[in-house]
Amino acid sequence: MLAGALALVTATVALCLQGSQISRRFFAGLISIAVTLSVFTVFAWAATAIVGVASLPLIWALIMLAILFALRLYRELQSPPRDEQG
């Protein structure tokens, strides 16, 4: 529940700061954190619902997948759109 609440707060902050002149890197970081926490929350819930009590290796596998997903999303959001490239 904490990860879901943090995802909601991070997404809200990103939306509030979107109109202001913040760096693209900071905005990409906020969005990648919000999406990753949301996805991690869903996967963690599914793991506990299926297994009953998630085993430690399964929890670490979910954490590693969430980190890899966050890094990939951050790199994708950080690059400028194709029409802005020179």
Task: Single out the residue of 65, 37, 59 nearest to residue 47, CA to CA.
Answer: 59
In this prediction, residue 84 carries a pLDDT of: 58
Q: What is the pTM of this model?
A: 0.61
| Strand, helix or coil for residue 55 | coil
Q: In degrees rounded to 5, what are phi and psi of residue 29?
A: -65, -45
State the pLDDT at residue 81. 65
For 5-40, write each residue's pLDDT tens digit. Answer: 888 888 888 878 777 777 777 878 888 888 888 888
Interatomic CA distance for residues 64 and 12, integer angstroms: 25
Q: What CA–CA distance (Å, rounded) separates 34 from 18?
A: 14
